[in-house]
Amino acid sequence: MLIIPPWNLFNIIFYIFYSLTAVVLIYSSSRNLWMLQYSKFSMGTGLPSRTAMIILYTLPIVAATATAWPYLLNASVIQLIVYAAVTLHFAKRVLESLFLHTYSGKMETLSLIFITTIYSIVAGMICYLNAQTIPAMDAWFYIGMLIFFVGETANFYHHKLLADLRKAGDGYHIPRGGFFEYAACPHYFFELVSWLGILFLSRHLFALLALIVFTAYLTERSMKTRKWYQEKFSEFPKERKSIVPFVF
């Protein structure tokens, strides 16, 4: 069961605008016209990465809480779980930014604004739509809880592997351990697993659209990351995939 919004003028414009924005971003990045500048692809301008990451992961929590507030105090169990999944996903990233990751570069201001806006729209919209839920917790809902837990746990584990490499203090290394042995960006893959779990919990069309957009963008960025590793490290294993271990 997928909950479809009423196709009034506002929803039509919103869904078209969101989809076109995603298409433009992914196309421009794939053609090297413009890409989000952070992490390995930072140009060295903008805010310190830690500050930027805290901002871009905190504001979606604010957006989610603001749009959920009208029903939050009297929320059903389903509404609480969906809201918790969205906010916990971003809260985890805030905590990782504060206490786990070692940053050395900067995030360009326009990239920060763009990512923060997209994340805030996704978090806010899913929690706004959460005012209408599926009638009851079904098998897919429980599967969604499991998928979300697996995604968040595995994502954290691979972030920890990356953080341990950076703590050596001598720049980037070829990631080792876990599914890094089989893909350049398994942390991206498990982030998508988390969003798949949120889709199964929310069951709204917008959650599916958000998952499709995130999948397209992170797949394209993982391909660039794999290429970056290959150019920087001649010993980077050629058999490693980009994002999905063993597959792609």
DSSP string, 62-112: HHHHHHHHHHHTT--HHHHHHHHHHHHHHHHHHHHHHHT----SEE-HHHH
- Tell me which H or E stretch contains 221: helix 205-232
Contact call for residues 119 and 56 (beta carbons, < 8 A): yes
* Residue whose tokens read 């792609």: 248
Q: Quick one: which of 112, 95, 117 has its CA closest to 43?
A: 112
pLDDT tens digit sequence for 224-233: 999 999 999 9
Per-residue DSSP letter, 4: P
Give 43's pLDDT tier (boundaries 50, 70, 90).
confident
Contact call for residues 192 and 215 (beta carbons, < 8 A): yes
pLDDT tens digit sequence for 56-112: 999 999 999 999 999 999 999 999 999 999 999 999 999 999 999 888 789 999 999
Question: In this model, does residue 170 exceed pLDDT 70?
Answer: no
Contact call for residues 23 and 213 (beta carbons, < 8 A): no
Give 168's pLDDT tier (boundaries 50, 70, 90).
low
Determine the pLDDT at residue 173.
Answer: 87
- Distance, CA of 26 to CA of 226 (rounded, Å): 17
Threshold 0.85, pTM exceeds: yes
Determine the pLDDT at residue 31.
Answer: 83
- Distance, CA of 53 to CA of 43 (rounded, Å): 16
Q: What is the mean pLDDT of the chain?
A: 94
Determine the pLDDT at residue 44.
Answer: 76
Determine the pLDDT at residue 30.
Answer: 83
Share of the chain above pLDDT 70, in %: 99
Question: In this model, does residue 139 exceed pLDDT 90?
Answer: yes
